[in-house]
Amino acid sequence: MGFLAPLFLGAVTLVGLPVWLHLLRQHKTTPVTMPSLMFFERRTTTSTRQRKLRYYALLAMRLLAILLLVLAFAQPYWERTIAAGSGKRMTVAAIDNSFSMRRANSVDSAKQQALGLAAKVSAAEPGIVVAFGSGAREVGQKAEDASVFRNNVNAVVAGDERTSYAELSRVLRGLHEAHKMPLDIHVYTDVQRSGMPARFADLQLPADAKLEIHDVAPKELPNFAVEAVTPPGRIFDTKAARVRATIAGIHTPRASKVVSLVADGKVLATKPVEIAENGRTSVEFTGLDTGYGFHRGEIRIDGADNFPNDDTFRFAIERSDPRRVLYLHASRDAKSALYVKAALDAAVPNAYSIEAAPYETTSTPNLTNVSFVVLADPGGLPSALEASLKDYVQKGGAVFIAAGPFTGAQSKLPVSGLTVKESRLTNRTREMFQTVASKEPLHPVIEKAAGLESVKFYQVVTVEPNASTKVLAKTADAVPVVLDQALGEGRVLILTSPLDNLGNNLPLHPAFIPFVERTAQYLSRQQESTGIVAVGEGVELRAATDRAIGVEVLDPRGDRALTLEQAAKATSFAPGGEGYYEIRRANGRSSLVAVNADRRESDFARMEDETVSLWKATGEPSEGQKVNASGERTERVSPWWWLLLVVLLLTLAEGVLASRYLYGSGAGEQAQAELVGKEVA
């Protein structure tokens, strides 16, 4: 037996504290009422008889608690020897099926080598197969038979994910906890440096794990890849459309390549490029002669290299006409429409066509194919116009209302029907202006409108929200500034201040362009996107407010990628492979997403031998464990936490016993004092 922290044993001197407290008891007397003290003689009372131990049980408990506490901090231990072969070990075959393992059929080589472990698998030493990329998962069940193990190995297929050795280590730690067995781990991988985590601690292996790394990939490092593509996403003018691409040479000499722009399998243009040694170059294509609708685009490097999988980069584009926006304003308002049009043209050129008209003379507007309607300070809408707009919203349309002084003079907000309390002007001599103090950061309109808090609002119409209205932004005194109201199948977005640069400085503020852009996207139910994501990244399916809208996702083979429950509730999904995914929504909207492998997988540089050695060392016997030459394992066993538990129980019992003595002795002394007082009287 030994102690891990023997210096704490010096604290055993603290046992004298309870003894000293039990001896140092002050002599207490209870005052007795006497008629006169003239016949009493003054004398000093000795306390010698008081200095004796009492309450032996309480003293013993206190002494024992201190001794055990000191012993627990000293951490006593004894050694336990586990004979070699007395415990079962589990064989783990971890096969890297990431995108880089497609090179020279490295996954097949890994599977062939892993099949050699089947001879070790038995009921005494079971085996598990793990496939890992950006995540890690068990393939099949724990195998206690060689044939089952072989089937699990053969079930591993090449994937398009990025390598993550941290995820592999996390799953290995979980296997150790679940099965309570030491692991013999065989990792079949290309030892890619880019798969290393930012923190080395994430590579921690379970205790007493043996790690073997099997490098199954070819040694060639040179590789050319299409690293990134920036397409327009949506095309409104085919001649003005531009596609930019970055071509990278990784561990390559200087070379010349030909790059092609492809749409729906048809080569539209080609350009030669010069790539410096280990360098990058950009290429730009102008003009995309495509028809209306969604198209599958690609940037290709002609003349495949040793790894042709990353010589093609996919993107999705959509050609459509500008979305029609009806802007209804008062005859006296000549500025606000110009501000909104300029903001949309700056954010998404040619994406929206704004038709401005005074609402006083517009009674029955043509709302066919209108993406959304803007009402600029509607003071008193014609009844026919308001009825038409309400019907438009109820059937799924959208309206953006910017309330001004004439709106504030009404009792109800047009179309939405919300109650208008007042039109509040700031006191120029006191507060000067109001600002947004709190907002809903996850709402699609608010999340990208950075700087909205610094906009100065001089006039705000106080609108009372109802149960179907959500306040997205409000001032410090809880006055709503931006509201979102669900109305039938449509929605109404409300700004409680005008857009004319008189009631606020929003039209001249940097937050105006992103605010107008996100408002237009939200109301038209169209999220502007380049249509490109990496394998494993999240693709947005619906906003939080659109949970009632069903979504269907078709993978590159045309199969459904979501279950029925996911199609009804999921707000996003992570594609597991490269290709084009089609997203169909129940409200008629659809989109096309191009998925590419993470281009960090294109760098085949290997991790250093020192790093591999350190990774293996994390599975060596933990502190306090020793393994001799014969395989016997000696480990330390310490009962320190049991000692702390006993100390806790003793402390609780001591408190109960001490309170019993305290109140019990006090009552006895009180009774004795009353008896003496009666006798003297």
Q: What angle do CA 626, 627, 631 make, to 5 degrees?
A: 160
Amino acid 665: pLDDT: 55
Provide the CATH number for the domain formed by 532-596 in this structure: 2.60.40
Cβ-defined contacts of 73-76 (< 8 Å, 24+)? 73/5, 73/8, 73/11, 73/640, 74/3, 74/4, 74/5, 74/6, 74/7, 74/8, 74/9, 75/3, 75/4, 75/5, 75/8, 75/638, 75/640, 76/1, 76/2, 76/3, 76/4, 76/638, 76/639, 76/640
Give 679's pLDDT tier (boundaries 50, 70, 90): very low
Of the candidates 17, 18, 64, 23, which has an alpha carbon nearest to the alpha carbon of residue 653?
Answer: 64
Q: Which of 168, 177, 180, 174 lies closest to 211, judged by CA?
A: 168
pTM of the complete model beyond 0.75:
no
pLDDT in the model for residue 568: 81
CATH number for 323-523 (one of 3.40.50.880, 3.40.50.11900, 3.40.30.10, 3.30.70.20): it is 3.40.50.880
Chain region(s) in the chain for CATH 3.40.50.410? 90-220+605-629
- The pLDDT assigned to 53 comes to 61
* Distance separating alpha carbons of residues 383 and 199, to the nearest angstrom: 66
Residue with tokens 């296997």: 175
Joined tokens for residue 62: 């206190």
Which amino acid does the sequence have at 533?
A: V
- The answer to whether the beta carbons of residues 503 and 404 sit under 8 Å apart is yes
Residues 467 and 488: their CA atoms lie apart, in Å, by 13
pLDDT confidence of residue 587? 62
The average confidence (pLDDT) of the chain is 84
Rounded to 5 degrees, φ, ψ at 456 are: -95, 120
Q: Domain spanning 90-220+605-629: which superfamily?
A: von Willebrand factor, type A domain (3.40.50.410)
With a cut of 50, say whether residue 676 has pLDDT above it.
Answer: no
The predicted structure's pLDDT at residue 27: 53
59-91, pLDDT tens digit by residue? 788 888 888 888 888 888 777 665 544 457 899
- pLDDT exceeds cutoff 60 at 28: no
Residue 258 confidence (pLDDT) above 90: yes
As a whole number of angstroms, the distance between CA 371 and CA 391 comes to: 15
For CATH 3.40.50.880, the residue range(s) in the chain are 323-523
Q: Write down the pLDDT at residue 44.
A: 65
Reported as a single tens digit per residue, the pLDDT across 319-344 is 888 889 999 998 888 788 999 999 99
Average pLDDT over every residue of 229-244? 87
> Is residue 580 predicted with pLDDT exceeding 70?
yes
Domain over 223-315 is classified CATH 2.60.40.10: yes
pLDDT of amino acid 675: 46
Cα end-to-end distance, the chain, whole Å: 68
Is pLDDT above 90 for 615?
Answer: yes
- Per-residue pLDDT at 297 exceeds 90: yes
Q: Where are the alpha helices (DSSP H) in 524-588?
A: 564-569
Indicate where the chain has its CATH 2.60.40.10 domain(s).
Answer: 223-315
Ranked by mean pLDDT, which of 122-126, 147-151, 430-434 comes out on top? 147-151
Using pLDDT thresholds of 50, 70 and 90, give the confidence band for residue 24: low
pLDDT class for 157, splitting at 50, 70, 90? very high
How wide is the angle at C-alpha 373 spanned by C-alphas 368 and 375, nearest 5°? 145
DSSP 595-627: EE--GGGG--PBPPHHHHHHHHHTTSPPTTEEE
